[in-house]
Amino acid sequence: MTNSAFQGLDDAMQARRQVFSVLSRLLGREVDEELLATLKEGGMLSSDDEALSGAIGLIEGYLASEGSSKLDLDRDYAKAFCGAGSTNKDSAYPFESFYTSKERLLMQEARDDALRWYRRFGVQKADDWHDCEDHVGVELEFVVHLIDEWRRAAAEGNEARAAELLLAQRDFERTHLANWLPLFAIDVRRRARTDFYIGLAQLADAYVAQDVATLGELVGDGA
């Protein structure tokens, strides 16, 4: 791959990094006042794609409404993702194991395999992270790490490493995000009260699905 090809792809990588970073932050934990103010100013998320723009429209519609507030979002986050008010696991728990294990349990095979991925690419658990490692926010953040590693390899002209990291992104997203985000988005739509989180889950699902397809074209779907 030539330096010019690296540069062209790097522009796309920067755009992807921004989206994955925003999704990781917004699904990883509750918003704070500063972030909410930034979101209300607009510009963090945009797309001309119909599926993505529809989800973004839900988010922006909530942010523009009179009832939007940190307290409202905190309550909805607890209701949708933490089981507040639920007695029968009727929540969109944001962990891959919950959606991929037969008994809908946490800390199952999906979490163990995600850990293997993290360790393979030098990612260690942060001391202040106390949730399971297959949390949607962590998996999305790991894609950001892989993108950063790709950009570093590309800047160094290391084609073999860049190719490995491109394939890793496709494979991790395909096996660890795309296989459960559709079900997660359905549960969020059923459980959440605000269009903010309904749109956010819909956006994550649609964006990852498109990203997997795009990466597949880059690395070859038969790879």
Please state, in angstroms and rounded to a whole number, the distance separating the CA atoms of residues 61 and 196: 8
Q: Is the pLDDT of residue 6 over 80?
A: no
Give 114-122 contacts, CB < 8 A, sequence gap 24+: 114/138, 114/139, 114/142, 114/176, 117/142, 117/168, 117/172, 117/176, 118/142, 121/145, 121/146, 121/149, 121/168
Q: Which residues of 159-170 are buried (b: 16+ CB within 10 A; e: fewer)?
A: eeebbbbbebbb
Please state, in angstroms and rounded to a whole number, the distance separating the CA atoms of residues 193 and 127: 32
pLDDT interval class at 87 (50, 70, 90): low
* Percent above pLDDT 70 for the chain: 94
**DSSP designation for 89:** S
Residues 91-143 pLDDT 10s: 899 999 999 999 889 999 999 999 999 999 999 877 777 789 999 999 999 99
**Residue 86, pLDDT score:** 59
**Residue 167, pLDDT score:** 97
How far, in whole angstroms, is CA 218 from its chain's centroid? 20
- Choice between 142 and 221, residue whose per-residue pLDDT is larger: 142
CATH class of the domain comprising 3-83+91-219: mainly alpha
The predicted model scores a pTM of 0.93
- Choice between 4 and 110, residue whose per-residue pLDDT is larger: 110
Half-sphere exposure of residue 201: CA atoms within 13 angstroms, side-chain side: 25
Torsion of CA 150, 156, 161, 164, to 10 degrees: 30
